[in-house]
Amino acid sequence: MNAGFIGLGIMGQPMARHLRRAGFPLTVYTRTAAKAEPLLAAGAQWAGAPAAVAAASDVIITMLPDTPDVETVLFGPQGVATGLRAGKIVIDMSTIAPAATVAFAQRLREQECEMLDAPVSGGESGAIAGTLTIMVGGDEQIFNKCLPLFQALGQNIVHLGTNGNGQRTKLVNQIICALNILAMSEGLHLAEILGLEREKVLPVVASGAAGSWMLQHLAPRILQNDFQPGFMIKLQQKDLRLAQEVIAQFGAEFPGTALTYALFTKAVEMGLGEQGTQGLINLFKKSHQL
């Protein structure tokens, strides 16, 4: 199975590397060509446009920031759609609007091609370790056909039903993540204000009922003043915006989601968007200093 990969950012780079290590013939494209150099050295082939990736590949994977980016890569000039032949498969592993995913899948189906939406959870560390959780929407037979690709990238791989359900599940995930990040940030900020030794507080609270993935993986980085992104604040804000848009369709109240969206938006506005999500604590630090 020839694989194509488009988007070699923080997540895409290690994911594509795992596919190559698993033995899949790999063709890659990304806007910044220099990012592809380690993969080319490992035997991947370079394509000059998304259409060329599609022409060379049986399965084309995209890992991009937002819905408009995916639409452009799929359907813009020299996009994936212009290089497809009947029977090819597109897997979008970005986090984008569920309604757009459904529409994209329908457009590709008109070309006799299938699409899976397969967003991931686990951050940069999960991408590097190959332990991502992958939530997949789309035809089950197509999912089973692509399972070897997913197994090269993650450990918990779940088919969730029709197109769009992968993205819908990811939004559930992101709401829970954001609220956990908020709880972690406020708790550690309070510890600092109280004059506690955070290096002692963290293992105590992490070992009890307050324990979480965020405390295990992100809190130690806060203590080290390490705000390099495994997943950027601006992308978490984007995901919460998508969640807000879905929630609005039902006229429901999700106050925690609304609060975290407002806080992540404020963090972006204050210039923290390029930091990892653990950098949300800097929003409180700046406010406290004011």
Residue type at 75? F
Q: Is 193 exposed, middle or buried (0-12, 13-18, 19+ CB in 10 A)?
A: exposed
Rounded Cα gap, residues 89 and 80, in angstroms? 11
Residue type at 202? L
- Residue 170 a catalytic site member: yes
Among the residues of 194-226, which ranges form H helices?
198-206, 213-217, 219-223
Count the Cβ atoms, other than its own, within 10 Å of residue 259.
Answer: 14
Rounded Cα gap, residues 188 and 160, in angstroms? 36
> Which of 35, 88, 145, 170 is the catalytic position?
170
Rounded Cα gap, residues 143 and 138, in angstroms? 7
Burial track 139-164 (b if 16+ CB lie within 10 A, e otherwise)? beebbebbeebbebbbeebebbeebb
Residue type at 50? P
Count the Cβ atoms, other than its own, within 10 Å of residue 85.
Answer: 11
Measured at the CA of 167, the angle between CA 164 and CA 170, to 5 degrees, comes to: 150
Name the residues annotated as catalytic: 170
